[in-house]
């Protein structure tokens, strides 16, 4: 959006007015692929005369196949050459620029800027730089995602991300710090640090420092704001960040650690080094250093060879770990991954049954973990007003406390007698719990 805006394009909330619809896609697992394709089909049905560009990971991974089999899209645009988006848009909608090329017909799907990620050991492209800090923000008010790296070197046997995104490429710490300052100057109060694995940050650039060095650089920035760390690989998590976070409470004690499983043989087959005992020890270290720590994880069930004993170990681990939040997904057999040819594939129906069991058990665990916040005072980032403004100055507002990451966890329901500003941080007292969600009342004026 930033690059298109710089080239003279403008966004519209009314798709009927659009000359070009860009569908950003995912290709991580089968359900994500279907969702991405269904989005293209739906837009084409609604707006048969509008140009559609399929962008992102699905376009990157299946460019050759989709260029022949997806006439509903007029073009494909991958994820490794973002600087070419304006040229791709101009080629599809030539009236948008002078001297543009003739657009392809609906029966032709043209690929733009789709170099394949280099093989292991090859020369890696630099991470995309799309006007950092000045880009339009699609996140909720007051919050912004801060991508610090691109690609991944972990090579988990089930994962297609290295095939799509390529190897790890860490950004420059100086540039990241500058983006932080720019976002904060724009009124952002929460920086959500992301990457395919932020725990590996700097492994490809030992000359500039690792994740602890980045956190120290962010800690040097003045002001009152949150920093939330998302997606830390458990086998690579640098324990020194715990002391940094304890010393500067702007680093939220929130940990997104995708453990995937607890059975050692299964984790080894996934090309991971841990097991349930090791991960319980890691959780204990985090909670000892940061007693208020909130831990989210992800479990993968139905991986080839997962036995009843393996699954029983996972259930036992789930009970002992008492994670605050946990997501669960079934194994998706992805071509060209090391796990694809593995034998002893688990029937989908059995994998789905195991997924339901984990999710049902986790609901009670998560609700119990949220109960500990009742009666406490927490800072809440206000996101939106839930009630009609005509009902008075106050009302019900939706927000998030430190224990709630955007989109994936519960929310904070703030009942206020006065108007609250979306994007502001405000002190609130937790009066109760409604399932996963917290009910709160403001105790002070908004900060910001």
Integer Cα distance of 17 and 406 in angstroms: 30
- CATH 3.40.50.12160 in the chain, residue ranges: 2-112
Q: Identify the band that residue 388 occupies on the pLDDT scale cut at 50, 70 and 90.
A: low
More confident residue, 137 or 428: 428
Integer Cα distance of 197 and 192 in angstroms: 13
Integer Cα distance of 113 and 79 in angstroms: 8
Integer Cα distance of 15 and 21 in angstroms: 7
Integer Cα distance of 280 and 81 in angstroms: 41
Per-residue pLDDT, 301: 97
The mean of the pLDDT values for the chain is: 88
Q: CB under 8 Å to 38, separation ≥6 — which residues?
A: none
φ, ψ at 271 (rounded to 5°)? 65, 45
Percentage, residues of the chain above pLDDT 90: 65
Per-residue pLDDT, 104: 37
Q: CB under 8 Å to 236, separation ≥6 — which residues?
A: 154, 197, 199, 200, 203
Asked which of 126-135, 184-193, 210-219, 426-435 is least confident by mean pLDDT, the reply is 126-135
- CATH 2.40.50.140 in the chain, residue ranges: 377-442
> pLDDT tens across 298-311, in order?
999 999 999 999 99
What value, to the nearest 5°, has the Cα angle with vertex 247 and ends 274 and 190?
Answer: 80
Distances (CA, A) of 36 to 44, 189, 195: 13, 31, 21
Q: Per-residue pLDDT for 100 more than 80?
A: no
Q: Per-residue pLDDT for 8 more than 60?
A: yes
- The structure's pTM equals 0.86
Q: Per-residue pLDDT for 242 more than 90?
A: yes
Q: Among 82, 25, 76, which residue's Cα sits nearest to residue 51?
A: 76
What value, to the nearest 5°, has the Cα angle with vertex 447 and ends 444 and 448?
Answer: 150
Per-residue pLDDT, 404: 96
Instruction: Give the mean model confidence (pLDDT) for residues 394-416.
Output: 92
Asked which of 38-42, 77-81, 238-242, 319-323 is least confident by mean pLDDT, the reply is 77-81
Q: Which CATH class is domain 377-442?
A: mainly beta
Per-residue pLDDT, 210: 95
Q: Identify the band that residue 83 occupies on the pLDDT scale cut at 50, 70 and 90.
A: confident
> pLDDT tens across 140-192, in order?
899 999 999 999 999 999 999 888 888 999 999 999 999 999 999 999 999 99
**Which of 394-398, 414-418, 423-427 ranks highest by mean pLDDT?**
423-427
**Could you tell me the fold of the domain covering 2-112?**
Rossmann fold (3.40.50)
**Could you tell me the fold of the domain covering 143-371?**
pyruvate-formate lyase- activating enzyme (3.80.30)
User: Residues 279-309, buried b or exposed e (16+ Cβ, 10 A)?
Assistant: bbebbeebbeebeebbbbbbbbbbbbebeee
Q: Per-residue pLDDT for 102 more than 50?
A: no
Integer Cα distance of 103 and 83 in angstroms: 20
More confident residue, 54 or 96: 54
> pLDDT tens across 313-370, in order?
999 999 999 999 999 999 999 989 999 999 999 999 999 999 999 999 999 999 999 9
What value, to the nearest 5°, has the Cα angle with vertex 18 and ends 16 and 22?
Answer: 115
Q: Are 400 and 340 in contact (CB under 8 A)?
A: no
Per-residue pLDDT, 6: 87
φ, ψ at 133 (rounded to 5°)? 85, -25
Per-residue pLDDT, 28: 82
- CATH 3.80.30.20 in the chain, residue ranges: 143-371
Asked which of 25-39, 169-183, 213-227 is least confident by mean pLDDT, the reply is 25-39
Q: Are 249 and 224 in contact (CB under 8 A)?
A: no
On the 0-12 / 13-18 / 19+ scale of CB atoms within 10 A, 168 is buried
Instruction: Give the mean model confidence (pLDDT) for residues 5-20.
Output: 88
Q: Identify the band that residue 81 occupies on the pLDDT scale cut at 50, 70 and 90.
A: confident
Q: Are 54 and 20 in contact (CB under 8 A)?
A: no
> pLDDT tens across 104-135, in order?
333 345 555 555 445 444 555 555 555 677 78
Integer Cα distance of 378 and 282 in angstroms: 26
On the 0-12 / 13-18 / 19+ scale of CB atoms within 10 A, 97 is middle
Q: Per-residue pLDDT for 26 more than 70?
A: yes
Q: Per-residue pLDDT for 401 more than 50?
A: yes
Q: Are 431 and 374 in contact (CB under 8 A)?
A: yes
- Which strands form 143-147's sheet, in the order they lie side by side? 143-147, 190-194, 226-229, 251-256, 294-301, 325-330
């Amino acid at each position: 959006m930033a690059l298109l805006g710089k080239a003279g394009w403008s966004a519209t909330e009314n798709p009927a007015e659009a000359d070009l619809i860009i569908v950003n896609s995912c290709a991580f697992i089968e359900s994500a692929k279907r969702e991405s394709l269904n989005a293209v089909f739906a837009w084409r049905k609604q707006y048969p005369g509008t140009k559609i560009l399929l962008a992102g990971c699905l376009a990157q991974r299946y460019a050759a196949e989709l260029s022949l089999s997806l006439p509903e899209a007029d073009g494909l645009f991958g994820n490794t050459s973002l600087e070419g988006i304006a040229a791709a848009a101009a080629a599809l909608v030539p009236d948008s620029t002078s001297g543009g090329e003739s657009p392809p017909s609906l029966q032709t799907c043209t690929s733009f800027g789709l170099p394949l990620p280099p093989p292991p050991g090859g020369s890696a492209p630099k991470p995309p730089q799309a006007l950092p800090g000045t880009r339009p923000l699609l996140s909720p008010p007051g919050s912004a995602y801060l991508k610090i790296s691109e690609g991944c070197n972990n090579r988990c046997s089930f994962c297609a991300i290295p095939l799509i995104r390529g190897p790890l490429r860490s950004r420059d710490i100086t540039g990241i710090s500058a983006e932080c300052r720019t976002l904060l100057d724009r009124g952002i109060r929460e920086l959500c640090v992301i990457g395919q694995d932020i725990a590996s940050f700097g492994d490809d650039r030992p000359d500039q420092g690792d994740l602890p060095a980045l956190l120290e650089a962010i800690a040097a920035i003045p002001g009152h704001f949150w920093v939330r760390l998302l997606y830390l690989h458990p086998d690579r998590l640098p324990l020194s960040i715990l002391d940094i976070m304890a010393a500067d409470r702007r680093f939220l004690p929130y940990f997104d650690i995708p453990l995937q499983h607890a059975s050692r043989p299964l984790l080894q087959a996934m090309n991971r080094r841990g097991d349930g005992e090791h991960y319980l020890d890691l959780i204990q270290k985090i909670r000892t250093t940061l007693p208020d720590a909130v831990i989210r994880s992800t479990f993968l069930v139905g991986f080839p060879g997962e036995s009843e004993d393996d699954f029983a170990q996972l259930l036992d681990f789930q009970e002992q770990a008492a994670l605050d939040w946990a997501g669960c997904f079934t194994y998706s057999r992805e071509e060209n991954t090391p796990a694809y040819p593995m034998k002893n594939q688990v029937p989908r129906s059995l994998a789905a049954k195991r997924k339901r069991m984990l999710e049902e058990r986790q609901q009670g665990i998560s609700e119990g973990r949220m109960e500990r916040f009742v009666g406490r005072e927490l800072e809440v980032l206000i996101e939106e007003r839930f009630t009609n403004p005509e009902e008075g100055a106050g009302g019900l507002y939706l927000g998030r406390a430190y224990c709630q990451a955007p989109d994936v966890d519960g929310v904070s329901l703030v009942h206020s007698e006065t108007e609250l500003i979306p994007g502001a941080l405000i002190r609130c007292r937790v009066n109760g719990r409604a399932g996963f969600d917290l009910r709160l009342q403001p105790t002070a004026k908004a900060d910001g």
